[in-house]
């Protein structure tokens, strides 16, 4: 099968910039091993592809801490959509693989640009991205579609808390990922500072009931569930440090859970793909409580694809070689497929 010309978009200006770049370097390396011609472009990088030496350095180094607020502001000022669309690497690409996390990556704006330019791309369309990115909207759609999710309230910046908040509670920005500015509050005095940190990242914040239990995650390839995994973090919060920079977190694939729990997660994953209008791939996060009830937390429409990320681990445990998985996603985008077409992992 002939190789493809692929442009990966990564970097951007969100707190997850370094995760995005690490994902892109990992995907690019595997796609090249499959005989594909791959360029990596940063929307905030001026239109020139990442140099091979820069990609190699990203692969060799630990994932860096989030950029500072000042660095994010500088990167945002450097974003030039017109220059990005005019970049030779993007114009020559048969398919685009967006791996930008956070703002201008998972909120639908980048996907809308690619649709306007007529470029096939991996992942959900602008509407699916926007609905999954906004946790308040995503949870409302889950409730409407009978998907169990923890109760929550959504507060605009400065809006007072309701008179009574069930504790413990999880406070988080309404948009964003990698658990940036997320906190578990066990005392009422912790709520106000946690909300200020969340509002610093987004003008809306969620205060969600904390559900004690086992943290599970499931990759989806189209409508097909991959392997269910369990995350055992040393602290109550599987945060940025635990995900990408710590060494004590255990990620177990496949998860040692009952057949009924696996079936419930698979059914919930399919329902979330449909309710949020997602396509190609996504990763769903759940809590399995002590009574055996499964609670859906969120859908990640641009899941991390680093060597440490959960989606590649879910796929590997389901029998997918990572290079073949990345190629499968590109060919799904190129052919207009929205599901895996019932195809299992290649043998």
The range of the structural domain enclosing residue 203 comes to 151-209
Tally the domains of the chain: 3
Q: CA-CA distance, 330 to 37, in Å (whole number)?
A: 12
pLDDT tens for 105-162 read 999 999 999 999 999 999 999 999 999 999 999 999 999 999 999 999 999 999 998 8
Checking if the pLDDT of 238 tops 50, the result is no
Torsion of CA 311, 315, 321, 326, to 10 degrees: -50
Q: Are residues 300 and 240 in the same domain?
A: yes
Q: Are residues 200 and 247 in the same domain?
A: no
Q: Are residues 14 and 114 in the same domain?
A: yes
Greater pLDDT, 237 or 234: 234
Q: CA-CA distance, 125 to 108, in Å (whole number)?
A: 7
Measured at the alpha carbon of residue 34, what is the angle toward residues 31 and 37, in degrees to the nearest 5? Answer: 60
The residue written with tokens 């169990």 in the block is 148
* pLDDT reported for residue 241: 55
Give the pair of three-digit tokens for residue 90: 């993007």
Residue 340: pLDDT band (50, 70, 90) is: low
Q: Are residues 228 and 199 in the same domain?
A: no
- Average pLDDT of the chain to the nearest whole number: 92
Q: Are residues 191 and 298 in the same domain?
A: no
> CATH number for the domain including 33?
3.40.50.20
Cis peptide before 342 (omega within 30 of 0): no
Mark 38-57 as b/e (b = at least 16 C-beta within 10 Å). bbbbbbbbebebbeeeebee
In a domain, 141, yes or no: no
Q: Are residues 290 and 220 in the same domain?
A: yes
> CATH number for the domain including 255?
3.30.470.20
Q: CA-CA distance, 227 to 314, in Å (whole number)?
A: 5
> CATH number for the domain including 205?
3.30.1490.20
Q: Are residues 193 and 225 in the same domain?
A: no
Q: Are residues 287 and 305 in the same domain?
A: yes
Sheet with strand 5-9: strands edge to edge: 37-41, 5-9, 95-98
In a domain, 16, yes or no: yes
pLDDT tens for 111-124 read 999 999 999 999 99
Q: Are residues 205 and 219 in the same domain?
A: no
Three-class DSSP category at 313? helix
Sheet with strand 294-300: strands edge to edge: 250-252, 224-232, 213-221, 281-289, 294-300
- Which of 209, 226, 248 is the C-terminal boundary of a domain? 209
Q: Are residues 267 and 296 in the same domain?
A: yes
5 has which bridge partners? 37
């Amino acid at each position: 099968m002939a190789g493809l010309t692929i442009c990966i978009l990564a970097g951007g200006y969100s707190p997850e910039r370094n995760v995005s770049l690490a994902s892109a370097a990992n995907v690019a390396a595997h796609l090249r091993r499959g005989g594909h011609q791959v360029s990596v472009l940063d929307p905030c990088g001026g239109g020139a592809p990442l140099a091979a030496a820069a990609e190699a350095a990203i692969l060799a180094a630990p994932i860096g801490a989030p950029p500072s607020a000042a660095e994010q502001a500088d990167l945002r000022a450097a974003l030039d959509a017109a220059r990005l669309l005019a970049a030779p690497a993007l114009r020559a690409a048969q398919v685009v693989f967006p791996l930008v996390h956070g703002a201008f990556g998972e909120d639908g704006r980048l996907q809308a640009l690619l649709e306007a330019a007529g470029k096939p791309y991996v992942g959900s369309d602008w509407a699916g991205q926007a609905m999954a990115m906004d946790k308040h909207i995503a949870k409302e759609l889950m409730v409407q579609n009978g998907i169990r999710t923890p109760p929550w309230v959504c507060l605009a910046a400065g809006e007072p808390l309701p008179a009574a908040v069930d504790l413990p509670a999880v406070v988080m920005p309404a948009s964003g990922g990698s658990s940036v500015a997320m906190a578990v509050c066990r005392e009422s005095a912790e709520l106000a500072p946690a909300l200020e940190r969340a509002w610093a990242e987004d003008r809306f914040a969620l205060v969600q009931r904390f559900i004690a239990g086992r943290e599970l995650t499931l990759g989806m390839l189209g409508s097909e569930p991959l392997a269910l995994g369990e995350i055992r973090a040393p602290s109550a919060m599987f945060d940025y440090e635990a995900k990408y920079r710590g060494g004590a977190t255990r990620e177990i694939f496949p998860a040692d859970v009952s057949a009924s729990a696996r079936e419930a997660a698979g059914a919930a994953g399919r329902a979330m793909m449909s309710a949020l209008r997602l396509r190609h791939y996504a990763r769903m996060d759940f809590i399995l409580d002590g009574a055996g009830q499964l609670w859906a937390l969120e859908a990640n429409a641009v899941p991390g694809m680093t060597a440490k990320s959960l989606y590649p681990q879910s796929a590997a445990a389901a029998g997918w070689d990572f290079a073949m998985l990345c190629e499968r996603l590109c060919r799904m985008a190129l052919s207009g497929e929205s599901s895996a077409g019932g195809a299992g992992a290649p043998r």
